[in-house]
Amino acid sequence: MKKSYAALSIALLSTLACGAQNPAGNRKVVIAHRGASGYLPEHTLEAKALAFQMGADYLEQDLVMTKDDQLVVVHGYYLDNTSNVADLYPDRKRKDGRYYSIDFTLAELRKLQMTSEFKTKGGKRVPNYPARFPLFKSTFRIHTFQEEIEFIQGLNFSTGKNIGIYPEIKSPAFFRHEGKDISKATLKVLKEYGYDSKDDPVYLQCFDAEELQRIRKELLPELGMDLKLIQLISERKWKTKKVYGKNGSYNRYDNKWMFTREGLEKMATYADGISPSLATLIDPKSKKGQLKISPMVKDAHELGLVVHPYTFRVERVPAYADDNLEEMFGIFFNQVGIDGAFTDFPDRLVNFLKQ
Ligand code: CA
């Protein structure tokens, strides 16, 4: 018992110290979710350039691996809902009808046309957000994690800014099941590009708590690095997937523990912050003026954890905020007390925080 308290207070102290050294200071931070994805196809360099110019503090990268062990920036290991992979490689789908990043080499992926997120209904492609950049217009390509870092560092150089990166390791259990250590690969690239201490403008995020603990306790010390880690927290009903078993069958990952004070205390032993879904902080069924706010932010702050929830979108404003994104920002920043946020519309949050 004594030992765990000691570990907790050390984590707390280091977290507080890091908060003071954070380049963003106590200022609220704007994280461009997949770039300025409200305006351009997600995770394209074009979407990152736009978010950079809009004044975001951090640009997000979702990371998956290819057959030839390259890290590419794309929303998940399925490629069929953001590209024309099904047109180009019709024979390469798996039994479940999906196309996996891991089944393609980087050279093959470079031939894909990337676009905004869509669903295929009755053979027709329907955009998830119909008012956004039209499907398959112009030409957008996939790129590697290294290429995106060089892009952002290049922009930092030419503009004199110091915009940070916010990579997410996607589905590490899946990739490890496929024989690939995506976490180690990610950390090696970060180190190579100079992101190796808590003072550097980077947060590393993951949904998988066991993997984040492995990163904190094994991989970072092994590589002589120290980074700010963010525990992503999904809504309980999402039932985050993990892989077990030889045939790739899924078991559900139980994240009930994350919604308790004890759970947050555990997270504070290895993470520097949390990134919960917005619905975790305010019950989406709340009535205007009668918000049901969870104690998660208050508890997290007491434990020295920053809170950067996801995702603010004009298309997904709950009724309690009157369909108004700015009102929603106001509720979360002023009443709930969050420290930053993921948004598809970084310009709107930058403007809100200026006022
Ligand atoms: Ca993400």
For the cut 80, the answer to whether the pLDDT of residue 2 exceeds it is no
What pLDDT does residue 239 have?
60
Question: Helix, strand or coil for residue 287?
Answer: strand
Closest CA to 165 of 321, 34, 70, 256: 34
Average pLDDT over residues 83-108: 96
Gyration radius of the chain over CA positions: 20
Q: Is the pLDDT of residue 18 over 50?
A: no
pLDDT, tens digit (0-9, with 9 covering 90-100), for 182-219: 999 999 999 999 999 999 999 999 999 999 999 999 99
pTM for the model: 0.91
Place of tokens 């920043």: 333
The count of residues in the chain is 355
Collapse the DSSP code of 270 into the 3-class scheme (helix H, G, I; strand E, B; otherwise coil) and give the result. coil
For residue 3, pLDDT over 70 is answered with no
What are the catalytic residues?
Answer: 33, 75
Domains of the chain: 21-78+145-354 (3.20.20.190)
CA of 34 to the centre of ligand 1 (A): 7
Beta bridge pairs of residue 232? 275
> Bridge-partner residues for 84, per DSSP?
none
**How much distance in Å is there from the Cα of 60 to the middle of ligand 1?**
7
Kind and range of the H or E run holding 142: none
pLDDT in tens, 312-323: 999 999 999 999
For the record, the structure tokens of 325 come out as 């994104």
Closest CA relative to residue 280, chosen from 232, 344, 330: 232
pLDDT at 236: 73
Residue with tokens 């975001």: 56
Question: What separation in Å is there between the alpha carbon of 324 and the centre of ligand 1?
Answer: 24
Instruction: For residues 8-34, give the mean pLDDT.
Output: 57
Question: 75 CA to middle of ligand 1, Å?
Answer: 7
Contacts of 329-338 with CB under 8 Å at 24 or more apart are 329/353, 331/282, 331/291, 332/278, 332/281, 332/282, 333/28, 335/291, 335/293, 336/281, 336/282, 336/293, 336/297, 337/297, 337/298, 337/301, 337/307, 338/28, 338/281, 338/297, 338/307, 338/308, 338/309
CA dihedral 47, 32, 185, 86 (to 10 degrees): -50
- Structure tokens of 168? 């997410």
Lowest mean pLDDT among 52-56, 119-123, 337-341: 119-123
pLDDT tens across 272-307, in order?
999 999 999 999 999 999 999 999 999 999 999 999
Reported as a single tens digit per residue, the pLDDT across 224-257 is 999 999 999 998 766 656 655 555 566 666 788 9
Rounded to the nearest whole angstrom, what is the distance from the C-alpha of residue 247 to the centroid of ligand 1?
A: 27
With 80 as the cut, is the pLDDT of residue 6 above it? no
Look at residue 24 in the predicted model and tell me its pLDDT.
Answer: 41
Distance from Cα 287 to the centre of ligand 1, integer Å: 29
Residue 271 dihedral angles phi and psi, to the nearest 5° = -110, 160
Ion ligand 1 neighbours, Cβ < 5 Å: 62, 168
